[in-house]
């Protein structure tokens, strides 16, 4: 089978299209024929570590232990191990691999992995462009815990989402609206209408206005791109307000303030900083599917590339200018 392999850390040029052995499922595994995957910032972060020590401790000091990237996928079950009960051959699935490996024509995953049958109202490309951004946004929204008097985590609260047009940002806007929050979204000029269409109540163009000086205060400020900081945004927060980050762009600051919040409950200013460790389960993917099939969530796709164009796709992702998701289509001659 064909796969994108990288055997050393470095620029996108280390990604090579190679022919490797097609995997065979174990007794508790399914073999998935992959029709679509994505390139996301996690792929880029592991290929050329932004925080080298952390990533190399996880993935190999001198060369990567996991040589095939890709965490999101949509495809079809081609074969099942003898102990499989949840899936059958021909099932159309989507979800997260949990340990990369999706930049390939096939992958074997355990039955317990975060995969389920895909939404009936999405094609493969749309389905693959859901789970990573939505999973990260969901982990953040769940941590808000400001739902006194409401049945939902964000109900009735004012949330500002910075970086609202990226993969996590577009997911956070839709999820916050699902939970009945009042959403102010911050993005650039070209994405204003898109973000409004996703449900944002107010949109701020950061190329024209300083969102930290808009005269408003919020229960939550969610930085979906790691390009702001608590100290820049703290005056936007109400007393008891929460600053959430999805990125370690301000590593020392975020870790210190998060630790302080976890020990003392809040900072001396009365505000909180939270950096939840992302977790996902099959049940979470099921919830995402329910949202999609109920018409409460839609995929946002910027560009599509083929597996052979993975280097070009990765270079585009690393411009940090993508809107939503970058999808990789994996062609099979017998695709249906």
pLDDT digits (tens, 9 = 90+) for 58-96: 787 888 999 999 999 999 999 999 999 999 999 999 999
pLDDT band (50, 70, 90) for residue 147: very low
Sign for the CA dihedral angle at 284, 180, 269, 164 comes to positive
Whether domain 2-130+299-329 has CATH 3.40.190.10: the reply is no
Q: So where are the chain's domains?
A: 2-130+299-329, 133-274
Per-residue pLDDT at 152 = 61
pLDDT: is 43 or 60 the higher one? 43
The pTM score is: 0.89
Helical spans, DSSP H, in the chain: 41-47, 52-59, 124-128, 131-142, 167-178, 192-197, 230-233, 251-264, 282-293, 310-317
Sign for the CA dihedral angle at 171, 177, 182, 187 comes to positive
Query: Taking all residues of the chain, what is their mean pLDDT, rounded to a whole number?
Result: 88
pLDDT band (50, 70, 90) for residue 265: very low
> What share of the chain has pLDDT > 70, as a percent?
86
pLDDT band (50, 70, 90) for residue 233: confident
Contact (CB, 8 A) for 113 and 97: yes
Q: Is the pLDDT of residue 134 over 70?
A: yes
Mode of pairing for the β-strands spanning 72-80 and 2-5? unpaired
pLDDT digits (tens, 9 = 90+) for 158-189: 999 999 999 999 999 999 999 999 999 999 99
Contacting residues for 255 by C-beta, under 8 A, at least 6 apart: 248, 275
Mean pLDDT of 272-295: 89
Q: In 3-state terms, what secondary structure has residue 44?
A: helix
CATH class for the domain made up of 133-274? alpha beta
Residue 267 to residues 33, 218, 253, Cα–Cα distance (Å)? 49, 17, 13
Residue 265 tokens read as 């409950």
Per-residue pLDDT at 29 = 98
DSSP characters over 162-231 = ESTTBHHHHHHHHHHHHTT-EEEEEE-GGGHHHHHHTT-SEEEETTTS-GGGSS--EEEEEESSS-S-HH
pLDDT band (50, 70, 90) for residue 55: confident
Per-residue pLDDT at 183 = 96
Rg of the chain over Cα atoms, rounded to whole angstroms, equals: 20
Q: Which DSSP category does 154 fall into?
A: T
Q: Is the pLDDT of residue 254 over 80?
A: no
Mean pLDDT of 294-313: 97
Q: Token match 């009042």: residue?
A: 182
Closest CA relative to residue 69, chosen from 2, 3, 131, 132: 3
Q: Token match 């005269």: residue?
A: 215
Per-residue pLDDT at 98 = 92
pLDDT band (50, 70, 90) for residue 250: very low
pLDDT band (50, 70, 90) for residue 117: very high
Q: Is the pLDDT of residue 260 over 50?
A: no
Per-residue pLDDT at 145 = 60
What gap in Å lies between CA 319 and CA 315, rounded to an integer? 7
Mean pLDDT of 280-287: 94
Per-residue pLDDT at 51 = 59
Contact (CB, 8 A) for 6 and 67: yes
Per-residue pLDDT at 269 = 58
pLDDT band (50, 70, 90) for residue 18: very high
Measured from the Cβ of residue 196, the count of other Cβ atoms closer than 10 Å reads 15
Mean pLDDT of 207-214: 92
Residue 79 tokens read as 């074969």
């Amino acid at each position: 089978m064909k796969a994108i392999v990288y055997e050393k850390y470095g620029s996108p040029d280390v990604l090579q299209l190679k022919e490797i052995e097609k995997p065979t499922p174990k007794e508790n595994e399914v073999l998935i024929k992959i029709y679509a995957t994505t390139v996301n910032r996690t792929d880029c972060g592991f290929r050329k570590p932004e925080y080298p020590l952390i990533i190399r401790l996880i993935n190999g000091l001198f060369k990567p232990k996991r040589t095939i990237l890709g965490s999101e996928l949509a495809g079809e079950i081609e074969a099942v191990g003898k102990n499989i009960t949840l899936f059958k051959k021909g099932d159309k699935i989507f979800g997260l691999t949990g340990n990369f490996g999706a930049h390939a024509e096939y992958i074997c995953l355990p039955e317990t992995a975060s995969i389920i049958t895909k939404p009936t109202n999405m094609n493969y490309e749309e389905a693959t462009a859901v789970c990573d951004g939505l999973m990260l946004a969901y982990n953040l929204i769940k941590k808000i815990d400001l739902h006194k008097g409401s049945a939902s985590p964000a109900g009735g609260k004012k949330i500002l989402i910075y970086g609202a047009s990226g993969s996590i940002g577009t997911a956070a806007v839709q999820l916050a609206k699902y939970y009945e929050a009042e959403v102010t979204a911050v993005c650039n000029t070209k994405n204003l209408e898109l973000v409004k269409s996703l449900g944002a109540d107010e949109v701020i163009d950061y190329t024209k206005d300083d969102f930290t000086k808009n005269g408003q205060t919020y229960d939550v400020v969610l930085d979906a791109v790691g390009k702001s900081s608590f100290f820049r945004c703290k005056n936007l927060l109400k007393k008891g307000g929460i600053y959430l980050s999805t990125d370690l762009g301000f590593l020392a600051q975020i870790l210190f303030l998060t630790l302080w919040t976890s020990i003392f409950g809040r900072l001396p200013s009365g505000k909180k900083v939270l950096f939840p460790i992302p977790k996902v389960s099959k049940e979470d993917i099921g919830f995402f599917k329910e949202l999609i099939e109920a018409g409460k969530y839609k995929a946002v796709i910027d560009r599509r590339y083929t597996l052979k164009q993975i280097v070009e796709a990765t270079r585009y992702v690393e411009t940090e200018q993508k809107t939503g998701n970058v999808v990789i289509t994996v062609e099979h001659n017998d695709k249906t």
